[in-house]
Amino acid sequence: MRKKPLAIAIADIHLSIRPPAYRSQEPDWKEAMRRPMLQLQSLAESFDVPILCAGDVFDRWDSKPELINWALNELPAMLSIPGQHDLPYHNTQMIHKSAYQSVEGTVLLEWDKRREGKSWRTKLGSLEIYGFPFGTPLTAAPKSKSKAFRVALVHAYAWKRGCSYGHAAEHDHIKVHQKQWHGWDAIIYGDNHIPFTVRPKGGPTVINCGSLMIRKSDDKHVPSCWILYDDGSFKRYELDSPDDVYGGNETALAESTVDMSKIISQLQNLSSSGLDFEEAVHRHIKEGTSSEAVQNILLEAISHE
């Protein structure tokens, strides 16, 4: 019997108003972000399936209105949960302050927030989707007589050998997460930007989606999404990305950021000088003692005050 597609899985979009350092040579960053969005929309329409996003839609919870408006126009329809980048101070109770909340209430990121314990749940055709946002631990699937295909959508760091940052915590290892996999037909993870799949004997297929777009030099994978089938399997679908431009100088940015330490002392005595933070920043920039990169970081900081 031919396998039937049920959904498209993605995670870690990290929309940003400016390109990350590694993508700083892009002639038009918004157009670069638009390209995978268009491909996702086309793929979802061709298979007639929903897109499931396992968190971190935005790179910053306090993204500017310009980026929010872009997202409202360009994001494909999807079901999503918030990752820590979407949440003010990583706190789900403060989601009402976030850029994520601004788009979540539209058809773009529609989520049925009927609470089942601490998880979010929604039914979509033959799919029964449970959401575990950042800070909400995955649990075993609740007992049910339903014959629906049950998917857990999780934003939590999970890793296995060869697919992690250095010195990743043992309590985040995939074998620890495995204790909560009982009863699920498929589990979709976000947060770890390195993609991988596992399927333990007698257990569900588990996919860590990886980042949708390449944002750093150590994102050593082809931009991809994952197609979930009704037998519980996932198939990787590589996005066309011949126009993507890489090679921005991350090292130079890191070195320039170190210069920030030189102005800390000047900003620590604001109360005694009578200056507020914004005025102190403008004075420091006017002196011209910091690099352009540091000045841009400072201006970005006060723009979010």
Three-class SS of residue 163?
strand
Residues 277 and 128 in one domain: no
In a domain, 243, yes or no: no
Strands 196-198 and 5-10: unpaired
Residues 139 and 196 in one domain: yes
| pLDDT classification of 2: cutoffs 50, 70, 90 | confident
285 is written with which tokens? 């920039």
Residue with the two structure tokens 């999807």: 78
In a domain, 244, yes or no: no
Which string of DSSP letters, residue by residue, matches 68-132? HHHHHHHSPP-EE---GGGSGGG-GGGGGGSHHHHHHTSGGG---BEEETTEEEEEETTEEEEEE
Does residue 252 carry a pLDDT above 50?
no
Residues 299 and 228 in one domain: no
Residues 274 and 295 in one domain: yes
- Whether the CA torsion 291, 292, 295, 297 is positive or negative: it is negative
Residues 201 and 139 in one domain: yes
Tell me what pLDDT residue 147 has.
87
In a domain, 62, yes or no: yes
Residues 50 and 83 in one domain: yes
State which of 184, 205, 238 marks the end of a domain: 238
- Whether the CA torsion 266, 270, 273, 276 is positive or negative: it is positive
Residues 265 and 219 in one domain: no
| pLDDT classification of 257: cutoffs 50, 70, 90 | very low
Neighbouring C-beta atoms of residue 106, cutoff 10 Å: 12
In a domain, 12, yes or no: yes
Residues 60 and 145 in one domain: yes
- Largest Cα span, the chain: 76
Residues 190 and 277 in one domain: no
Query: How many alpha carbons fall within 13 Å on the CB side of residue 267?
Result: 15
Does residue 37 carry a pLDDT above 80?
yes
Q: Tens of pLDDT along 94-145?
A: 888 999 999 876 655 555 555 444 568 888 889 999 999 999 999 999 888 8
How many Å apart are CA 245 and CA 25, to the nearest integer?
Answer: 6
Number of domains in the chain: 2
Q: Which domain holds residue 12?
A: 5-238
Residues 226 and 126 in one domain: yes
Residues 184 and 234 in one domain: yes
Tell me what pLDDT residue 106 has.
64
State which of 183, 218, 238 marks the end of a domain: 238
How many Å apart are CA 41 and CA 39, to the nearest integer?
Answer: 5
In a domain, 32, yes or no: yes
Does residue 304 carry a pLDDT above 70?
no
In a domain, 98, yes or no: yes
Query: How many alpha carbons fall within 13 Å on the CB side of residue 213?
Result: 29
State which of 238, 259, 276 marks the end of a domain: 238
Neighbouring C-beta atoms of residue 118, cutoff 10 Å: 12
47 burial level (CB within 10 Å; 0-12, 13-18, 19+): middle
In a domain, 245, yes or no: no
Q: Tens of pLDDT along 45-82?
A: 999 999 999 999 999 999 999 999 999 999 999 999 99
52 is written with which tokens? 């499931």
Q: What is the CATH number of the domain that holds 173?
A: 3.60.21.10
Residues 170 and 288 in one domain: no
Span 142-169, mean pLDDT? 91
- pLDDT-above-70 percentage for the chain: 76
In a domain, 14, yes or no: yes
